[in-house]
Amino acid sequence: MPRALIVGSGREIPPNRVTNAMLARVMDTSDEWIRERSGIETRYYVDPGTGTSDLGVAAARRALEMAKVDKDEIDLVIFATMTPDHYFPGSGGLLQAKLGIKKAPCFDIRQQCVGWVFGMQLADAQIRSGFAKTVLLVGAEIHAGFMPYNQANWDYLYGKSDVKPTPEEFAKNTGYRDRIVLFGDAGGAVVLKATDDDRRGVVDSILRTDGTEYDKLIVPGVGFKHRPYVDAAQLERGDHIPIVEGRAVFKMATTLMAEVTHEILKKNGVQLSDLKLVLMHQANLRINGYVQKTLGLPDEKVYNNIQKYGNTTAATIPLLWDECARAGRIQPGDLVLMVAIGGGVHWGATLLRA
């Protein structure tokens, strides 16, 4: 039976680098406060008018180039994002059109921060079934739209204006600081091809969902539980901005990511010492450090880049993979584990040989 093998990867980072000190211009925060709680030093935001599909397209082009695969070979597109260009249609078809890919089917999936791991399992399943031979998997996010700043706040943050936020605006922004300092924009992509080499490719995936915990990570507004699904009152209340129950999320993340790691390794007769790298979702450096300590992983088996990019949701793991692959930290035959948790609550792990 064939399995999915990553043959190329790419990433796209937006042009606007935002430091913690810059965020302190528009809310009550500091570099020390943000680093202590998250490990984040910088993040990147897109220019207005850039869509999530645009980040995906740029990352996909680099992945196709690295893979030496022509776009006409793609027979399935999977796009993981919680921040699509439009409420509908999904971003997969937009990416397909912008890349000029033939009329291959496009799946749009919504598992938030664990969307990449769910996408890996889906790509592998479609290849194993014979439905596809070459899959383009994309994870991309634009979180800048969550930010509560008005245009004057944006201009002051970027140093384009001397007009400071009013006391009311400063207080409003500060009310969301525990969340908005965490997020950045980015896109990542890989090309997966069918291989009959049982020494390489996706070995196994384990996926889990517990819908009873959905309210721990949630955007409470702009949904069809409301009538209309969006209105000025929701925006004024900030119902379009995610709610993150920090303590509950920390406990779930550290527990479930460690558990699913042990589960997938035991299932496949693999030891932690056999792994070359563990690529964890980049939500919080403190979470990843706790999981690393729980598992007893040495530093050389773990790679983090949340310091540079912040939490880019479905894009975090492909960013890690692409940086490691291009730096030579992932070589053919290396055993790599991808593990993540996200709103839903969904979590899972994928074990693969490069």
Amino acid (1-letter code) at residue 14? P
Asked if residue 352 lies in contact with residue 203, where contact means CB atoms within 8 angstroms, the answer is yes
324 is catalytic: no
| Set 113, 143, 288, 324: catalytic member | 113
Residue 103 makes CB contacts below 8 A (sequence gap 6+) with: 96
Amino acid (1-letter code) at residue 36? E
| Set 143, 284, 311, 324: catalytic member | 311
pLDDT, one tens digit per residue, over 229-254 is: 999 999 999 999 999 999 999 999 99
User: Strand, coil or helix: what is 332?
Assistant: coil
281 is catalytic: yes
pLDDT, one tens digit per residue, over 101-120 is: 989 999 999 999 999 999 99
Question: What is the average pLDDT across 319-324?
Answer: 98
Task: Label residue 233 exposed, middle or buried (CB < 10 Å: 0-12, 13-18, 19+).
Answer: exposed
Task: Label residue 266 exposed, middle or buried (CB < 10 Å: 0-12, 13-18, 19+).
Answer: exposed
Domains along the chain? 3-195 (3.40.47.10), 201-353 (3.40.47.10)
pLDDT, one tens digit per residue, over 137-185 is: 999 999 999 999 999 999 999 999 999 999 999 999 999 999 999 999 9
Q: What angle do CA 350, 65, 71 make, to 5 degrees?
A: 85
Query: Is 214's pLDDT higher than 90?
Result: yes
The two tokens of residue 46 are 């897109």
Query: Is 1's pLDDT higher than 90?
Result: no
pLDDT, one tens digit per residue, over 79-92 is: 999 999 999 999 99
113 is catalytic: yes
| Set 106, 281, 324, 346: catalytic member | 281
Task: Label residue 187 exposed, middle or buried (CB < 10 Å: 0-12, 13-18, 19+).
Answer: buried
User: What CA–CA distance (Å, rounded) separates 161 from 147?
Assistant: 18
pLDDT, one tens digit per residue, over 257-310 is: 999 999 999 999 999 999 999 999 999 999 999 999 999 999 999 999 999 999
The two tokens of residue 35 are 């680093």
pLDDT, one tens digit per residue, over 186-205 is: 999 999 999 999 899 999 99
User: Strand, coil or helix: what is 42?
Assistant: strand
Q: What is the structure's pLDDT at 77?
A: 98
280 membership: H or E segment, kind and range: strand 277-280
DSSP 205-222: EEEEE-GGGGGGEE--SS
User: What CA–CA distance (Å, rounded) separates 167 from 12?
Assistant: 36
Return the DSSP state at 46.
Answer: P
Rg of the chain (C-alpha set): 20
Q: What is the structure's pLDDT at 173?
A: 97
Residue 200 makes CB contacts below 8 A (sequence gap 6+) with: 3, 5, 332, 333, 353, 354
- pTM here? 0.97
Question: What is the average pLDDT across 321-328?
Answer: 98
pLDDT above 70 as % of the chain: 100
Lowest mean pLDDT among 30-34, 204-208, 234-238, 255-259: 234-238
Query: Where are the alpha helices (H) located in the chain, listed in sequence order?
Result: 20-23, 31-38, 52-67, 91-99, 115-129, 151-157, 167-174, 177-180, 232-237, 246-267, 285-295, 306-309, 316-326
The two tokens of residue 127 are 């290849």
Query: Is 320's pLDDT higher than 90?
Result: yes
